[in-house]
Each structure stands twice: as C-alpha cells, then as structure tokens.
Amino acid sequence: MTTDAFLADCRARLAFDLLSNTWNAVVLWALRDGPRRPVELRERIGGISSKVLTETLRRLQFNGLIDRQEVPDAPSRVEYQLTALGRTLLAPIDAVGAWAFEYGDEVMAAQEAACASPPQSSRPAC
C-alpha cells in the first residue's frame, strides 16, 4: 500500500465508503445465509424503513455486491442474494463487529466522559 492509499479515487477509500454507510454492512450481513425477500430483510434487520432498505439494496446492487432475482410466482416477488464479490466483504464486516464487541464499552465510556466535561466547541453534540 502506498502512502497515498486513502486519497481521492483510491481503492482503499472506495472500500471504506462502502462500509461507512450504516445500512450497507447490515444488509450484507443479513444476506450471509442466503437469498431473502425485502420483507424478510426488514424483519431480520429491524429499525430500517422500506424506503431506506430499497435505497440500500439498489446501492449494493449498483456496486455489484448483491443480485436481484425475480421469483416466478403469482404474485411475482423478488429476492436478493450476495454475489461472490459481496461475500468477500463478510470477513471485514465480521472483523469490525468483533472489534465493536471487544471495545464498544470503552468507546461509549469515552463518549460519556466527554459529555460530562464542560462543553468544547470542537466536540460533537451529546
């Protein structure tokens, strides 16, 4: 990796952009066990609106991470599944999840301590 690995138009930045969207990683993880219909994804994920799920599915499909399959039933329905490329992101998502499980309490304690101290102009709102 070069020293310019995180500058504009670099591949590392592309990967971080894909994972920085809150719902991208969640939807990919929810698809890890096989194809799912949108209603199944909403139930499995929880807390995601239909609109946001649709936008996320379109974005993931645009980036080649999932496939949309029309199921020939009456009434017609669609399912989404990971592509081979999408499956390659499961290990990094799992690693970030493991990090969050191990260090999440420390991050939350730091946030609470920052919110308990006098306000600073450079600090995000609590």
Is 35's pLDDT higher than 80?
Answer: yes
Is 6's pLDDT higher than 70?
Answer: no
Q: What is the pLDDT at residue 5?
A: 57
Q: What is the pLDDT at residue 3?
A: 59
The secondary structure element, H or E, covering residue 69 is strand 66-71
pLDDT tens, position by position, 57-101: 999 999 999 999 998 877 889 999 999 999 999 999 999 999 999
Is 31's pLDDT higher than 60?
Answer: yes
For residues 41 and 29, the answer to whether their CB atoms sit within 8 Å is no
Q: Is 33 helix (H, G, I), strand (E, B) or coil?
A: coil
